[in-house]
A = this chain, B = another copy of it.
């Protein structure tokens, strides 16, 4: 039973769009990711997804609006809702979602990460 220090964990990697598992509880994963640029449009048919912004500003695009998430704010994207994360400058996020969640949801591509590192 070890505590997790977010800044320490973020210091261990630099690549974008590659979530790292930093905790697991009740079948859910806690993940950290660095985001920069535009991701792909996708949805998760079975999983709600929480984005907590640790550093920077994340734009979460939906088909009908965009929600801007700042530091110390979070947004829950319900299952089935198409979304696209966009980060003009690098953003650090903490994610809470079921262990089954695939980063690109229903839009598998070269961005899809099927095996995530635990750090």
Tell me the A residues contacting B by CB distance below 8 Å.
Answer: 1-7, 23-26, 28, 30, 47-50, 54, 62, 67-70, 72-78, 81, 96-98
A-B contact sample (4 more), CB < 8 A, given A3-B68, A23-B74? A1-B76, A5-B70, A23-B76, A26-B98
Contact in complex: B1, A78 (CB < 8 Å): yes
For the complex formed by this chain, how many copies does it contain in all?
2
Q: How far is the CB of A8 from chain B (nearest CB, A)?
A: 9
Interface of A is mostly: strand
Contact in complex: B49, A25 (CB < 8 Å): yes
Contact in complex: A67, B26 (CB < 8 Å): no
A30 CA / B95 CA spacing, docked (Å): 12
Q: How far is the CB of A110 from chain B (nearest CB, A)?
A: 28
In the bound complex, residues from chain B placing their C-beta under 8 Å from that of A74 are 3-4, 6, 23, 30
**CB-CB nearest in chain B for A53:** B3
In the bound complex, residues from chain B placing their C-beta under 8 Å from that of A62 are 1
